[in-house]
Amino acid sequence: MKTNFHQHKVLTGFACSLVMLSTVGTSQGAFAHGYLEVPPSRALLCQRGENKNCGGAQYEPQSTGETFQGFPNGAGGAPLQGPVDGKIASGGNPLFSALDAQSATRWNLTELRDRNIAFQWQYTAAHPATRHEYFITRDDWKPNEPLKRASFDSTPFCTVEGAHQLPEAGAKHHCVIPDSKSGHHVLLAVWTVGDTDNAFYDPADVNILAEAALPGGWLPVGSIAPAAPLLVGDKVKARAFSAAGENAEYSVEIGIDHAEEGRPENWSFKLADAINRAHTLVRAGIRDEQGDITPIKGINKLYAQQETGVSRYEVQLQMQEDPDASMTISSLQPEYVLDKGRVDMTFTVSTNRRMNLEATLFDEKNKPVGVVTQAVGEGSSGLSMAVRSAPGAHTLTLVGTTADGRTTRQETRQVPLTGEGAGIEYDFVFPEGISDYAAGTKVLQPKTDEVFQCKPFPASGYCKQYSPSANGYEPGVGAHWHMAWEKL
């Protein structure tokens, strides 16, 4: 039995908001597009999944950081042009504001082991370039403060003139990173467009390890970054690798023997200390003014002598399941009554750990008709799920994963839905199941509360053409939706 839904108009204000956002995006992003590919920009690493919680940047790395020309003082010396302090990475576009977050640990760092660097851009809509400039943060910059003009050296360390010509795909800009720069820095790549008033400001987060060898012949080969808290019985292993693969001789493992050792800064210290006790040609810690490398309760860097053959380390956590973690559905109504195919299904869950919950309701054909995700603490928590379905037997599955990711619990319950079904059948709630859309597929558009049917071949091919940044064929919403869909 297909799901039914009654037609009525809702969310008018939301639709208007979409139009306004679309207008704002067009005013800033209609000119040229591109991003720094080598080394990868902050936004590109969002798209690759190496940076997290990036907002819209993960879908459009080519559109981030676009704003007026002029850095650091504005085009022609105009002080009010160019990027706004604190919004350099986003270009002031609220869709990309997550990129403006800044701390010593917020972004993945790309290691640079050579001061000779070849910058390379990827142009998705190339326009003539006035120039490409490369800035770097000052020696005394504050990594836990928002990026400002004053965070960077006032002059670029490298400039490549564009002569108002279209930049060549794959072209490399050969530059040299200043000798004074080492460790954590932000490179700001600026592409000034030649036929508009705009420029692209693309930051890349780097860890400069450019020395061939540190004093004493020590080569940097990685770091021990304290991450998740551990429990008694867990293990941590520093795995050494050479050109031939894993090097067991220089790999070191520790176990967590008591609760205090499980704190991230403490197990990092214990592992670094164990490496130093086991080997003389590999060291872990921080170098002091005398050149000694000693462990700290924090991020410990790893160094090796060339004769070891060790080129890098990986830190591996071996985490045991938490046997005492529990989760149960503690309150569920005997039945839920549909009103024109809808019901807000509420129930209570009890947990004894902080958990990330995902509850899904399936109809008789195992099609999901409602889902809710929620992070909860210890104790009882109420969940509310918006359900669109028809009367009949349903199955509720609840999956809970502890906040540390080590343990998962699941509970399944049978739930009857009674009451009134809806008037129009549909197969999916858009964009769920989009890979299965074909001629005749009926979808509910939640933005307009309307049902649309995919047109016959060859127009049916457009029904699958959708992404958050390219929604021209989205039913009832996209500019070209009529080419793919019929409204029922």
Q: Assess contact for 387 and 336: CB atoms under 8 A.
A: yes
Q: pLDDT tens digits, residue range 430-449? A: 988 888 899 999 998 888 88
Residues 384 and 269 in one domain: no
- 16 in a domain, yes or no? no
Domain span at residue 467 reads 427-487
Residues 115 and 38 in one domain: yes
The neighbour count for residue 457, using CB atoms within 10 Å, is 9
Instruction: Report cis status (omega within 30 of 0) of the bond before 72.
Output: yes
407, 422, 437: which is the final residue of a domain? Answer: 422
Residues 49 and 81 in one domain: yes
> Residue 8: which H helix or E strand, with range?
none
Residues 304 and 331 in one domain: no
Q: Assess contact for 476 and 485: CB atoms under 8 A.
A: yes
Q: Is the pLDDT of residue 467 over 50?
A: yes
Is the C-alpha dihedral spanning 142, 147, 148, 153 positive or negative?
Answer: positive
Model confidence band, residue 214 (pLDDT cutoffs 50, 70, 90): low
Residues 148 and 128 in one domain: yes
Q: What is the mean pLDDT of residues 41-62?
A: 91
Q: Is the pLDDT of residue 212 over 60?
A: no
Best mean pLDDT range from 121-125, 181-185, 255-259, 466-470: 255-259
Q: Assess contact for 284 and 300: CB atoms under 8 A.
A: yes
- 22 in a domain, yes or no? no
Q: What is the mean pLDDT of residues 222-227?
A: 86
For residue 336, what is the domain's CATH number? 2.60.40.2550
Q: Describe the chain by its helix, strand, coil percentages, rounded to 5.
A: 15, 40, 40
Integer Cα distance of 292 and 275 in angstroms: 15
Residues 245 and 180 in one domain: no
Q: Assess contact for 192 and 130: CB atoms under 8 A.
A: yes
Portion of the chain with pLDDT greater than 70, in percent: 90
Q: pLDDT tens digits, residue range 158-177? A: 999 888 888 887 788 988 88
- 346 in a domain, yes or no? yes
Residues 202 and 239 in one domain: no
Q: What tokens were used for 418?
A: 């009674």
Residue 287, C-beta contacts closer than 8 angstroms, at least 6 positions apart: 214, 293, 301
- 7 in a domain, yes or no? no
Residues 232 and 131 in one domain: no
Q: Which of 238, 233, 221, 294 is nearest to 261 (CA)?
A: 233
- 15 in a domain, yes or no? no
For residue 92, what is the domain's CATH number? 2.70.50.50
Residues 158 and 301 in one domain: no
208, 229, 258: which is the final residue of a domain? Answer: 208
Residues 74 and 180 in one domain: yes
183, 208, 233: which is the final residue of a domain? Answer: 208
Integer Cα distance of 169 and 396 in angstroms: 52
Residues 351 and 388 in one domain: yes
What's the chain's Rg over C-alpha atoms? 28
**Tokens 């002569």, residue?**
163
Integer Cα distance of 407 and 325 in angstroms: 7
The total of structural domains in the chain comes to: 4
Residues 439 and 460 in one domain: yes
Q: pLDDT tens digits, residue range 336-354? A: 999 888 899 999 999 999 9
For residue 296, what is the domain's CATH number? 3.30.70.2150
Model confidence band, residue 21 (pLDDT cutoffs 50, 70, 90): very low
pLDDT at 10: 33
pTM: 0.44
